[in-house]
Amino acid sequence: DSGVTQTPKHLITATGQRVTLRCSPRSGDLSVYWYQQSLDQGLQFLIQYYNGEERAKGNILERFSAQQFPDLHSELNLSSLELGDSALYFCASSVERGPDGYTFGSGTRLTVV
C-alpha cells in the first residue's frame, strides 16, 4: 500500500457520460497530481493541485476538470466521454518539489464503451 488511495479501481461507462475519479493523498502530502496512461500517449501529466489551489496544468482536455478539497482529497471529473478517453488514470502525491519524487496510487481503469 503506497498510501495514496484511488477509487474506484475500475469504471465502465458509455460515451457521452460523466464520471468522477477520487484520490486521497498520502498523509502529510499537500500536492496531488493526475496522470493519464494510455497505450498511444504513454503517461501524460494532466493537472496539479497544491493545498486546494491549482498549481500546474498539463495536457488536460477542456472536458476534464479537477479540484482539491479542504481535507486534501482530490477529484477528477471527466465529461462528454469519448472512446479515446479509455485509459488508466493515476493520482500521485508529494511533498512539494521534493526530490523524492511522487507516490502513486494504483490507478482507476476507465473503459468507455
Partner 1 sequence: GEDVEQSLFLSVREGDSSVINCTYTDSSSTYLYWYKQEPGAGLQLLTYIFSNMDMKQDQRLTVLLNKKDKHLSLRIADTQTGDSAIYFCAESHSGGSYIPTFGRGTSLIVHP
* Residue 100 found at the interface with partner 1 (CB under 8 A): yes
Minimum distance from residue 80 beta carbon to partner 1 (Å): 26
Residue numbers 15-34 binding partner 1 by CB under 8 A: 33
How far is residue 44's CA from residue 53's CA, in Å, rounded to a whole number?
A: 20
| Total count of residues recorded for the chain | 113
Helix (H) or strand (E) segment spanning residue 22 = strand 19-24
* Residue 99 found at the interface with partner 1 (CB under 8 A): yes
Q: Whose CA is closest to 68, among 55, 79, 53?
A: 53
Name the pairing type of β-strands 19-24 and 5-7. antiparallel
Do the beta carbons of residue 89 and residue 9 sit within 8 Å? no
* Residue 97 found at the interface with partner 1 (CB under 8 A): yes
* Residue 86 found at the interface with partner 1 (CB under 8 A): no
* Residue 104 found at the interface with partner 1 (CB under 8 A): yes
* Residue 110 found at the interface with partner 1 (CB under 8 A): no
Q: Residue numbers of the site for partner 1 (CB under 8 A)?
A: 2, 4, 33, 42-43, 45, 48, 55-56, 58, 90, 92, 97, 99-107
